[in-house]
Amino acid sequence: MQTHVAKRVEIIIEAVMERRLTAALTDAGVTGFTVLPVLGGGGRSGVWSREGQVTRAGGMVAVIAIVAPERVDPLVEAAFAVVERHIGVISITDCEVLRANRF
């Protein structure tokens, strides 16, 4: 089966910023993404967990988008404009997809 090169961009950000981030991605031409809850983690501020939280205020989400390599720069610029003022991280990895016309 033939595969095609793509980029996977994963953005971890505060849950309260999810709508602003996904709107920025859509405005940048991203046609698909997935949002997942983040259960916990650790960073410069120490270890944290969603356990016992009543609201989304202290939680994080992961927003994942897979795009053609030539579309990664506008996506990252839009995401960084939201993430730079908040807790979050953006990672970019190479991946392969089966249906390139979807990305």
Instruction: Say how far apart CA 97 and CA 84 lie, in whole Å.
Output: 29
Q: What is the pLDDT of residues 50-68, one digit of tens each?
A: 665 545 556 899 999 999 9
Q: C-alpha angle 86/89/91, rounded to 5°?
A: 155
Is residue 6 within 8 A of residue 100, CB to CB? The reply is: yes
| Higher pLDDT pick, 54 / 71 | 71
Q: Locate the domains of the chain by residue range.
A: 4-44+56-102
Mean pLDDT of all residues belonging to the chain: 88
Q: What is the pLDDT of residues 12-27, one digit of tens each?
A: 999 999 999 999 999 9
Top CATH class of 4-44+56-102 equals: alpha beta
